[in-house]
Each structure stands twice: as C-alpha cells, then as structure tokens.
Amino acid sequence: MSSRPSDGTRLASHGAASLTIEPADVAIIGAGVVGCAIARALALEGLSVVLIERGRDILSGASKANSAILHTGFDAPTGSVELRAMQAGYDEYLAIHESLNLPLWKTGAHVVAWTETEVAKLDAIVAKARANGVADVARIEVAELSRREPALARGALGAVQVPREFLIDPWSAPLAYALQAMAHGARVLRDAAVTAARFDGDGWVIETSRGMVRASVVVNAAGLFGDHVEALARTSPFAIRPRRGQFLVYDKPAAALMQSILLPVPNERTKGIVLCRTVYGNLLVGPTAEEVDERENATTTEDQLRMLREVAETRLPALRDIQITATYAGLRPATERQDYVVEAVPDRRWITACGIRSTGLTASLGVAAMVRALYASHFGPPRPVPTPHLIRMPNLAEDRPRGIDGPAPGAIICHCEGVTRREIEAALIGPLPAADLGGLKRRTRVMMGRCQGFYCAAQVAALAPKLVTP
C-alpha cells in the first residue's frame, strides 16, 4: 500500500464499476464491530458517514470470531483506555439492546482456581475488580460453586463470582449498529479496500478498489490492518501484532451442562481457556492465545484443538459424549502496547481507533463514544438527531421465539439450527444483505449446526447460488 499516490491516479478497480458518491463528513475505514459502532454514533450525531470495508461483507476481520462475552472489565488494566471503553460500552449495550431487539444473557461468571498457586491469586482478582469499580465480585465457597455448576469436574479449590459478566449475540449487535447508522443516512461500501489516501488540507480523497471517496475526516478502525491504514496519515505509532485464538464449539446438548461463564485464573498473557454457552445454544471452549503472522484467514491447528478438547473434557467430563460442532480461529488486533489506541490527529483531520484487542465487542460502543467526543472537540460541534430510528433485529438467540416458532414458519431449510427459508430470504435483501456465505451464516445461523451442511447445502445453494459456489 502506498500512502501517497500521485495526484489524479486511479488504482485499478477489481472489476466493480467505479462509484461516485457524495463527499461525506466522515469516512470510517473498517466495518468490524468497532467501525460499525462508530458509524452508528456519528450518524446519530447527524454527520454524513461512509463506512468502507475491504471484505465482501462487514465483520470480515477480527469481529467474525470471538467469545461473545459482554465484559464488566473486572480484570482489565486499571486506569486504561480499554477499561473506560469497556465500561462505557457495557453500560450503553445494556441501555440499547432491548430497543434493537438484541439478546442479553445474564449468566454471570466464575473464576475457578484448580491449583494452590491459582487460589493464591484469587484475592488479588477481587481487589483488582474493586479497584475497577466492579464491586459485586467476591469469593464464594467451592461447595456453592458445585451447587451452581453441578456438571463441573471435582477438584476446584477456590472460586470468585463475577455476577455481571454476560453473553450477547456477537454478529447481530454490530449488524444492528450498521443498520441503525444506515437508517440515518450512512452509506456502507463493501468489497472496497482502501489502497491509498491523499490529504489536501481540508479533507481526504480516499482511493478504494471500487473508486474514490471524499471525506472531511477519516476514522481508522481497520483492526488487523490498523497500522497499514494509519500509515496513510502518519508514521504509525503502533504495530499490529495479531494474536490468534482457537475455539471448539460443542453441540447443543452441551449447553445444558453449564449456567455461567467459566473463567480460569488468568496469567500474564491471556485470560486462558474459557468455557461458556453461546446465545445460539451451544457451548464454546477457547480461546488460545498465540502470536502469529497471519492477519486474515485465521487457521486452526490440530494440536491446539486437541488441547482445547482435553481442557474441556477435564473441566466438564460430560463433554466426552458430546459432538464437536465447529472449530474456528479468530485474530485479536493487538499491538505492542498494553492498551487501545484511541486518539485524534487534528492537523490531519484523522482519528485512530485501533489495537482494540481482546475486548472490542464489549468496548465498541464505548470506543464510539470516545470517537464522538474527539470529533466534537476537534472537528465540529455535534448536531444530534432528535429521535433515533430503531432497528428491530431478527432474533437468533435460543431463549426467545425465532422464525421456526412463529405461527406459519413455512419451509425449514437448516434443521440443525432451525432456520426457515423466510429468514434466509430476508437476509439476502434489505439495506445490508449478506454478501458471502459467512455473512449469510452470521445473519441466520444456516449451516452452522452439527451437520455443517450435510443436509441443507443444496437448498442453501439454490437460495443463494452466488454465495455458496462463487
């Protein structure tokens, strides 16, 4: 990527027609959960927004694979930008989720110690939580833990409860943010990689693979490519160090084995292997934490998958008899710093929202609020819209009625996940239709179940031929 194209040059666009769009107040580069949340926040400020994404669909980067936990920040670095963003994001999610029809599973979490060394760390965990303002974190008796989680293996030596760690739908939430932004005029350009950008003193001319976009201010929310995009404005003050996390997903019967989120005692580098349900009714085990060079197409490795299975079966022995439905890996956009990078470069009319490493699903709304404040203090006063348009997301969570539970559901296409033809058709139309198979899966859950397409592949192919066999 060159940061200074010669004036007037046009980079080859990949087949797609060059687009002409109105100059915008703000161009956001990257439609991960952070970019989507920023688009929402700025559109609700009455700003004209363009959200630019290189993937065929939104959520093509870090945001496509995570543990879906809404964190309290009880164990985050005290005093960090990350903690502030998480807590603001947490509060805002609680405030808006019902109006967007997004789920919230109030499961709570338990940090469980299995060795004496780990027990020794529990009081420090409680103390840190208190310092972080999460006052309801406390030690509980092992007997109480066993009462709450009877399927858990014996041998726990101590436990801390974190009552307000919750679970959410990691894909419907950012989609709702993007759709709400669009309802307020935001445009979303997908399949549009930013390849270069030129600052002319008043604003930016951004070259994308689909044509040129003009904007007065640019927000860098490019996740795993944050440092590359940052180099368009300045020498990047940070470097992305992707950290991979691999997961196992167990079939639905496993979800009955656990109520809360099971957290291990963290070490310096990672929170360790978590066991938790998903709002889709599965059980998730992971993530690993591995420094890798890959920035896209996260790969799994057999040895780590086997390790995860061993941890899972050690903690919840009943998992031995339950099938693994899926395996996947995600990449955290970590940097060499121990914190996020959320700052403005006023003389370049640029805002950076990068290094949103392992907590961005929670923090996204908080980061968006910070970006809104940076915009207001450097680039112009807010003009908030009087009444936000509300978006009602189709429910994908198991605890509330879905399409299949309705009065006349029509044809069911995916039997493992109970997805109707109507739901699939709905995901293929509208302001932000699914643009690849992953996008269709994230919007409907089709093919995400135990058979992984054995039964439904042909019907999905018939409904969305371009997405299935590109």
Partner 1 sequence: MSAERDVVVIGGGPTAAGAVRALARKGRRDVIVLERESEAGGIPRHCGHTGYGVAEYGRLMPGPNFARRLAAELGAGADLRRRHTVRRLQPDGQLSVVGPEGSYELRARAVLLATGARETPRSARLVGGIRAPGIMTTGTLQQLVYLQGARPVRRVVIIGTEVVSFSAILTCRHAGIEIAAMIGEGFRTLARWPAHLVSRHAFGVSVLRGAHLEAIEGGSTVTGVRLRLASGQTRVIACDGVIFTGKFRPETALLADHPGLVDPGSRGPSIDQFRRLELPGYFAAGNLVHPVETAGRCFRDGMAAGEAIADHLAGVLPPLGDTRLIRAAGAIRSLYPQRLAGEGMAPIHFQVTEEVRGKLEIRLDGTLIWSRPRHYLAERRHTIPPWRLAGRHFAEAEVRIA
Distance CA 333, CA 451 (A): 31
Dihedral over Cα of 67, 72, 73, 79: its sign = positive
When the beta carbons of 65 and 178 are compared against ligand FAD, the nearer one is 65
Contacts of 199 (CB under 8 A, 6+ apart): 233, 348, 349
Residue 101: burial class (beta carbons within 10 Å; 0-12, 13-18, 19+): middle
Instruction: Name the one residue in this structure whose structure tokens are 């797609």.
Output: 16
Nearer to ligand FAD, 335 or 395 (CB): 335
Least spacing, CB of residue 208 vs ligand FAD, in Å: 7
Strand duo 166-167 + 158-162: pairing:
unpaired
- Is 252 a residue that touches partner 1 (CB under 8 A)? yes
- Distances from the Cα of 84 to the Cαs of 68, 88, 300, 363, 379, in angstroms? 19, 6, 32, 8, 23
Residue 249 to residue 260: CA distance in whole angstroms = 16
Told to check if 424 binds ligand FAD by CB under 6 A, we report no
Among positions 337-356, residues that touch ligand FAD (CB under 6 A) are: 356
Q: Assess 245 for contact with ligand FAD (CB under 6 A).
A: yes
Cα four-point dihedral sign 438, 470, 325, 448: positive
User: Cα(220)–Cα(38) distance, rounded to whole angstroms?
Assistant: 10
- Exactly one of 299, 314, 338, 377 binds partner 1 (CB under 8 A); that residue is 299
Residue 420 near ligand FAD by CB under 6 A: no
User: If binding is defined by CB under 6 A, does position 219 make contact with ligand FAD?
Assistant: no
21 vs 333: CA distance, rounded Å: 30
Q: Which of 3, 146, 270, 301 binds partner 1 (CB under 8 A)?
A: 301
The verdict on 72 binding ligand FAD (CB under 6 A) reads: no
Residue 412 binds which one of partner 1, ligand FAD, none, with CB within 5 to 8 A depending on kind? partner 1
Residue 209 CB, nearest approach to ligand FAD (Å): 8
Helix axes 437-444, 172-183, angle to 10 degrees: 100
* Site for ligand FAD contains 172 (CB under 6 A): no
Contact of 35 with 226, CB cutoff 8 Å: no
- Least Å distance between CB 172 and partner 1? 21
User: Closest approach of Cβ 33 to partner 1, in Å?
Assistant: 20
Burial class (CB within 10 angstroms; exposed 0-12, middle 13-18, buried 19+) of 9: exposed
Footprint of ligand FAD on 252-311 (CB under 6 A): 287
Q: In one letter, which amino acid is 185?
A: G
Binding region for ligand FAD (CB under 6 A) out of 108-116, 223-231, 375-383, 436-444: 223-231
Q: Considering the rule CB under 8 A, would residue 432 count as an interface residue with partner 1?
A: no
List the interface residues with ligand FAD, window 181-210 (CB under 6 A). 193-194
The answer to whether 455 contacts partner 1 (rule: CB under 8 A) is yes
Is residue 361 part of the contact set for ligand FAD (CB under 6 A)?
yes
Q: Does 326 bind partner 1 (CB under 8 A)?
A: yes
Instruction: Decide: is 412 part of the binding site for partner 1 (CB under 8 A).
Output: yes
Binding of ligand FAD at residue 333 (CB under 6 A)? yes
62 sits near ligand FAD (criterion: CB under 6 A): yes
Question: Smallest distance from the beta carbon of 78 to ligand FAD, in angstroms?
Answer: 18
Neighbouring CB atoms inside 10 A of 463's CB total 19
Tokens of 255: 């979800």
Q: Closest CB to partner 1 among 28 and 298? A: 298
Using only C-alpha atoms, what is the Rg of the chain?
A: 22
Q: Is 61 in the site for ligand FAD (CB under 6 A)?
A: yes
> Under the criterion CB under 6 A, does residue 63 sit at the interface with ligand FAD?
yes
| First and final C-alpha spacing in the chain | 27
Residue 290 interacting with partner 1 (CB under 8 A): no
Task: Compute the Cα dihedral for 360, 433, 421, 410 and give only its sign.
Answer: positive
Is residue 329 within 8 Å of residue 289, measured between CB atoms?
no
Is 461 a binder of partner 1 (CB under 8 A)? yes
Nearer to ligand FAD, 37 or 322 (CB): 37
Cβ-contact 459, 424 below 8 angstroms:
no
Q: Which residues bind ligand FAD (CB under 6 A)?
A: 29-35, 52-55, 60-63, 65-69, 71, 193-194, 221-225, 229, 245, 287, 330-333, 356-362
Q: Which residues bind partner 1 (CB under 8 A)?
A: 249, 252-253, 296-297, 299-306, 309, 321, 323-328, 404-412, 415-416, 418, 437, 450-455, 457-458, 461-462, 465, 468-470
